[in-house]
Amino acid sequence: MTRFVANAAAGLMIALIGVIAYLVLIDPTAFGLLGGGDDPFEECRSTKVVGGQATIGGPFTLINGSGDAVSDTDIITKPTLVYFGYTYCPDVCPFDTVRNAEALDLLSEAGKSAQSVFISIDPERDTPDVISEYASYVHEDMIGLTGSPEQVKAAAAAYKAYYRKNGEGEDYLVDHSTFTYLVLPGHGFVEFFRREETPEALAEKTACFIERSKQN
Residue 194 and residue 177: Cα distance in Å, rounded? 10
The total number of structural domains that make up the chain: 1
Task: Please give the residue range of the domain that contains residue 132.
Answer: 3-213
Digit-coded pLDDT (tens) for 89-106: 999 999 999 999 999 999
Q: Is 61 helix (H, G, I), strand (E, B) or coil?
A: strand
Digit-coded pLDDT (tens) for 123-166: 999 999 999 999 999 999 999 999 999 999 999 999 999 999 99
Burial of 15 by CB count in 10 Å (0-12 exposed, 13-18 middle, 19+ buried)? exposed
What CATH number did the domain enclosing 96 receive?
3.40.30.10
Cα-Cα-Cα-Cα torsion 43, 45, 47, 48, nearest 10 degrees, comes to -70
Q: For residues 85 and 95, is the Cβ–Cβ distance under 8 A?
A: no
- Indicate the DSSP class of residue 206: H
Q: What is the pLDDT of residue 215?
A: 76
pLDDT above 70: residue 23: no
| Cα-based distances in Å from 152 to 31, 59, 85 | 18, 12, 11
Residue 70 and residue 74: Cα distance in Å, rounded? 6
pLDDT above 70: residue 216: no
Digit-coded pLDDT (tens) for 61-71: 999 999 999 99
Burial of 209 by CB count in 10 Å (0-12 exposed, 13-18 middle, 19+ buried)? buried
